[in-house]
Amino acid sequence: MSFLPITRAEALTHGWDELDVIFVTGDAYVDHPSFGVPLLARWLEFHGFRVGIIPQPDWRSKDAFTALGRPRHFFAVSAGAMDSMVAHYTPARKLRRDDAYTPGNRHGGRPNRATIVYTSRLKEAYRDVPVVIGGIEASLRRFAHYDFWEDKVRRSILFDAKADLLVYGMGETPLLELAARLRKGEDFKAITDIRGTAHVGKDIPEGGTSMLEIPSFKEVLTDRHKYNEAFRLVSMEQNSRCARTSVQKQGERYLVCNPPAFPISEQTMDIIYALPFVKAPHPSYTEQIPAHEQIKASITTHRGCFGGCAFCAITYHQGKTIQSRSESSVLLEIKKLLEQKWFKGSISDIGGPTANMYGLKCSDSKAEASCRRGSCLYPRPCRNLDMSDKRVAALLSKVRKTSGVKHSAVSSGVRYDLLKHQDAYLKELLGYHVGGLLKVAPEHIAERVTDLMRKPGRRDFEQFLAQFRKESAALGKKQHVVPYFISGHPGTTLSDMVDLALFLKRSGLRVEQVQDFTPTPGTLSTCIYYTGIDPFSGNEVYVPRSDKEKRLQKSLLLSHLAEERSNIMRALQVCSRKTAAGELLDGKHEAIPAPAVHGSRKKTR
């Protein structure tokens, strides 16, 4: 096995004096299926295309973008595994100091709005070569969208980048179709009908009932109700089996977004994960890449998520349909992992976006073909959802019994409201795959907030905790739940966070990290954050916006840390819940000094 070329000299060692497709990515090149660009590049290579990668080019000039020369078909651009603005800034809009996808964990390996910058440099270097943009940054910014970092609505990234085509979703099917049609001699500009792509058109294409026009950029820019309407309409077009082409006017032209690509089959999933990945960073790197260290001993069993959480982009990017690998495919990858000299027998994670969704599907193909639900679990599990744990429990059992595997963990998280329907999986999980700590994500316990999040409520979490503790005790194991919660989410008040903090205290739970809500492009929670209105119910929603309140909300969940006590007392004072101080802080708190009294003269800046 060898790496794909990142220089012309390396391309020549493959016998390639010209490449068909050149990928440009904001991540370092790690030849592993968990990294999107290498996976897509290997997929095209498998189908006979000559492919190269330009990882983390210096965007300050066009020179780095000429490292592999001019491609025969097109450049394929991705900001990387994360939206570049999410990668660069904290929820408080402060610059991060690290980047897990860069050697040495250094910040600065990619620019802000990397998709736009990379495309601009490529057009500067090769004006006549088509540029196709994709990845999560392009995928979730394909329509007019609210941008948290500028606090404004931006038009489609396809217009700002001035790219020739946008591929959204996971990309294998549309990218391969595009490359194959170009190889046959089709004109790039004439290829406008591929599923999972979006392009710019001068007019609304003919489509009749299969066409959906959503409010224009001008309308969503000036009218928050129109923004909500556009989001609601687009979110109803996620099912590839019944989705229509969506059109949004932007200036004098139109964004034309074709229906999503169909989910890929189990057979195709098996082929993808059997491709000749080296499973290592390119040898030109001299420092570790944290993202690789985290996943190098992990196994991906499936993709997609039907949970439909309001703050999560997985459903919008990977799809709601669970696309699983076969058992034999997973076991074959483990066999190859055992051959690695560095592997010591411990699989760090075996799962997907939600580990216990492996093998699950809709039991009614006719109902699935017309389904427009955003979640198969919210507000209650769909009657057509097959929740059988037979496949996933059997897979975990075979993995741990594989010769050479000393331990296999499930650390990617599970959906605990599914576990009450999965007794065999729960026993297998707690008996062999937890390692003392199990990650779950209740996110909150206030029913009003969890409803906005599209998450199960407090009762489900309490039932799970009782079940977890009972099963662990029966197994004679000391195991604990690691819960993840979000502060600052739309609908959350300081008083709600006090209730959550008290719940944690009374339940014997402790969190070490709290996720401060970040309004990332394309999600329902971001839509609510921007408009202050739930686009589905039409109800107004309280949104914590000030940095001060968000900081206090976060502090309330860290009452066990001495450095947070003053913030906690301030929070309790603001929401008139000072009586909770004794319980939250175990009596270890000081009174907040009264604010200084000033004259009536107004402050000046």
Q: Specify the amino acid at residue 47.
A: H
Cβ atoms within 10 Å, residue 542: 13
Q: Collapsing DSSP states into helix, strand and coil, what is residue 408? A: strand
Query: The dihedral of CA 556, 557, 558, 562: what is its sign?
Result: positive
- By CB atoms closer than 10 A (0-12, 13-18, 19+), residue 508 is exposed
Name the DSSP letter for residue 6.
S
Three-state SS across 416-465?
HHHHCCCHHHHHHHHHHCCCCEEEEEEECCCHHHHHHHCCCCHHHHHHHH
Helix (H) or strand (E) holding 178: helix 172-183
User: How far apart, in whole angstroms, are the C-alpha atoms of residue 229 and residue 144?
Assistant: 12
- Helices and strands, number each (H, E), in the chain: 24, 22
527 is an annotated ligand-binding site residue: no
User: How far apart, in whole angstroms, are the C-alpha atoms of residue 567 and residue 558?
Assistant: 10
242 is an annotated ligand-binding site residue: no
Helix (H) or strand (E) holding 392: helix 390-400
CB 553 within 8 A of CB 570: no
210 phi and psi, to 5 degrees? -90, 10
Q: Which residue positions form the known binding site? A: 305, 309, 312
- Binding-site residues for [4Fe-4S] cluster sit at 305, 309, 312
